[in-house]
Structure 1
Amino acid sequence: MPARQPLPYNATAARINETLERTVNAAIRTWDKVARPLGLGIRISNYDDLNYAFEGGVGDKLRKKHYDKSLRLLWKAEQHASFTTFRDCTRDERAMMQLAEQGMTKLEKRELKRVRSDEYRQQLKELYTPEQRQAIVNILSLIGHGEAYAWIISNQLLGQVKSTGGRAALTMQVLEEAKHFVVLREVLEAFDCEIPRMQAWEYILLENIVRAKGLEKFFGMNVVVEGVALSLFGLMGHSFPGLEFLKMFHLDESRHTGLPHSYFEEFPMTTWEKINPVAMNIRMLTVAPLIPLIFNVEKDFAVLGLDVFEFAGSVLRKIAHLTTRVGFYLPVPAPMLLWEINLMLNAYSYLTRPGHKFRNFMTAETTSGEEMLKVEAEAFALKNQAPAAAS
């Protein structure tokens, strides 16, 4: 695979965005430090992004004793109760049954073992420059921190969904978010780079979703956060050597983004729940922090030869498609909102990218690889994943 060439970016704009983010971050962190003991402030979760762990520390001993053991002993109905209608084993697991093995698939075991090895660390150093490795860590840490919140929020939703099937689906999502968090954390450590704290914009986005009630929490989690995660894994899982394991994460996220549609087929939203002006504005405010977040990661994307605005167009188009398909309507019709954001991205590009010519970023498709494109086509109920079909 030919090496990607870095893209030019406006250093002045990058410094301005970084300064703005640091200023906002300092303000909200200071406010939280003072106000949280009083029950106020932005933060209500127990996640410590400065240490990339939940409050109370990493707890590896407890994790290995309970979480890892639970995964090893995770049983499948197809194996132990073959007379039922459950078909919950993968092809690899069916082969593993013949060997009397349980737990993770062969692929998962192989990938996790490789990530833990010194050979993998050396491979990363040979594949990527220090600047590129740091850029990858900066980008994937956005999802790493997001997985911590996904773990929290999916657990909150577990007590709110109806039906045994609904709770079963959310239970598996809780399990998968836990797996994503602990595995991705170990992967990022293998890069031997600093794992950054959450950016202020992500902090605001995720804390607002934790605080949200009812359906708006469902929207924030399974449409917005999972939509971004799905797109990032789709972007990096095929094109970046050493990160192929992200395809497994991508497959999980496709189920998570598809859950609202499946759930509302069983328990439809009322018309008022769809068009309630207060709810629609809450949804808009939930999405809003994504815009400054996009500006602030432009440099990291550029280092890897990626255009962050193409990624933004791809992910926002998919989120907009999900909102319309499910019934999580916004105050502005999705096509109009996408066009307005596209104008904003082009205006920013005219100011910061010499020689920029107007383009429709919303038609970009940044997921690559036939396998992952097929997964997304099924998740979004599209005949194909071409931009024209998705826009």
Structure 2
Amino acid sequence: MNDRQDSASASDRMARRQRLGLRVFRPAAPLVARAYRALEPGWARRLQRKSVTGYEVGSYSFHGGELETLIGRNYEKSLRNLWKAEIQAPYLGIRDASKLEKAGSSAEAEVAEVDRLMEIATSEDVRRDFEAAFTPAEREAIGWLMSLIGHGEAYALYTSSTLVPVVQGTGAKLGMAMQAMEEAKHFIVLRTLLKTLGIDKPITDSAYILFEKVASASPYRRLFAMNVVIESFATTIFAQFADYAALEHVVGVFHQDEARHVGFPRNYAQAGLIPEKVTTSRRERAARTALLLPVFPLIFDYKPHFEALGLDCFGFFGRTIYKVAHHADRVGLPGTLPADELISTMNLFFNAWTQAFEPERFQGYRDYTALREGDVRRDLLERETEVFGDIFEAAGTATG
């Protein structure tokens, strides 16, 4: 009896909270949005003037130009000649080779990974398949969404490279150095793919502000925003597009890398290397939360592109927030609100927005953080579960 009463009481409190939130939200949201949008362009221009990254969104490159000779001789050649200690000196006990490489087929029978990916990215057959699979409006939407990640990879390259001298311990420095190398690969391959498909786009001011704020943050805030938040977002979007024509060849291997990057803070925290004050300080928790404020306008900037593809934007970001909130708590980099409270608040926000401004879509309170049938391919979910743990158990079901 008491359990039923407690459950009913909780439901009543939630209903009252929803009604109160809606009464406040309906008039306040447009005012806040207009005020922010009025300030956003100036904020972006100020960040551009003092950018620490030297990244130029318009040219899709870093300050100083392409320097194609260095790309060919110092980047691509390095990857082609990437030898494995486990093969050259197996007695050292270093395990850096795959089963296929240890079988002796890597050097002669396989093309280096970067060559394979670049070949895919410049294939006219893939471009024709892409154009046949999607309408012009859908191709435009894919371009905006994947370009968000493409430019994000440039910032991930910069940010991970700046974290190499900051993280402590040999394993941490080696791991972060490898992340920087993988981000470089993601950046150049995805940029080439998008240009080949003719769908490379800039990013919105909200995305630019987010990326620049992350890149210029203090080290542990940078680690949180990049490896916990943005990499979690990347795993979600790569899982979303895993079976899309022209993208399927690369986003699966990107997802594999990003899942490993998300796992870095967990391993680092388990080694006891995140200071207690970073975890518990109210100032640090508030600063981590403040870093993510541009995510709100970003959601609405990219919402039309999700909808053009028939995708649920709030559901996508709800699942991402679910992962980020739990992962942040587990690795000792929480925000101002505990995970469950943040998830509840975001659910109220998404429901209130839908009820207030898209009433035709509102069919009662919905959990936007839950996985639904068809959201994530099972093999990708299993990979993420290795990184994020069992947080998905309460969220729903994967596809086969």
Question: One fold, TM greater than 0.5?
Answer: yes
Larger Rg: 2
* Aligned partner of 2:185 among 171, 179, 189: 179
CA contact (8 A) 2:238 2:255 kept: yes
Aligned residue in 2 for 1:79: 87
Q: CA deviation at 1:121?
A: 1.1
| Distance 1:143-1:27 versus aligned 2 partners, 3 A rule | same
CA contact (8 A) 2:286 2:335 kept: yes
CA distance in 2, matches of 1:329, 1:124: 40
Secondary structure at the residue paired with 2:127?
helix
* Aligned partner of 2:368 among 345, 361, 364: 361
* Aligned partner of 1:148 among 154, 158, 161: 154
Q: CA deviation at 1:172?
A: 0.4
* Aligned partner of 1:241 among 226, 241, 245: 245
| Distance 1:295-1:32 versus aligned 2 partners, 3 A rule | closer
Is 1:62 the equivalent of 2:70?
Answer: yes
- List runs of 5+ in structure 1 lacking aligned partners: 1-15
Which runs of at least 4 in structure 1 moved beyond 6 Å after TM superposition? Answer: 16-22
Q: CA deviation at 1:243?
A: 1.6
Is 1:93 the equivalent of 2:101?
Answer: yes
CA distance in 1, matches of 2:173, 2:331: 19
CA contact (8 A) 2:370 2:396 kept: yes
CA contact (8 A) 1:72 1:102 kept: no
Aligned residue in 1 for 2:260: 255
Instruction: Report how many residues are paired.
Output: 365
Residue 69 of structure 1 aligns with an amino acid whose one-letter code is: K
Is 1:28 the equivalent of 2:28?
Answer: no
- List runs of 5+ in structure 2 lacking aligned partners: 1-30
Aligned residue in 1 for 2:330: 325
CA contact (8 A) 2:44 2:208 kept: no
| Distance 1:166-1:120 versus aligned 2 partners, 3 A rule | same
CA distance in 2, matches of 1:267, 1:344: 35
Percent sequence identity over aligned pairs: 32
Secondary structure at the residue paired with 2:237?
helix
Give the structure, 1 or 2, with the largest relative contact order (CA under 8 Å, sep 6 or more): 1
Residue 73 of structure 1 aligns with an amino acid whose one-letter code is: N
| Distance 1:103-1:256 versus aligned 2 partners, 3 A rule | farther
Is 1:118 the equivalent of 2:155?
Answer: no
CA distance in 2, matches of 1:132, 1:17: 31
Q: CA deviation at 1:124?
A: 0.8
CA distance in 1, matches of 2:106, 2:346: 54
Secondary structure at the residue paired with 2:167?
coil
CA distance in 2, matches of 1:268, 1:388: 33
CA distance in 2, matches of 1:101, 1:256: 29
CA distance in 2, matches of 1:20, 1:70: 49
> Which region of structure 1 is more displaced relative to structure 2, 243-252 or 205-214?
205-214
Q: CA deviation at 1:294?
A: 0.9
Is 1:271 the equivalent of 2:276?
Answer: yes
| Distance 1:164-1:103 versus aligned 2 partners, 3 A rule | farther
CA contact (8 A) 2:326 2:391 kept: no
Deviations 1:345-370 (A, max 9, x none): 11211233232122110213575222
Deviations 1:318-351 (A, max 9, x none): 0001111101122222211111111111121123
TM-score when normalising by structure 1: 0.86
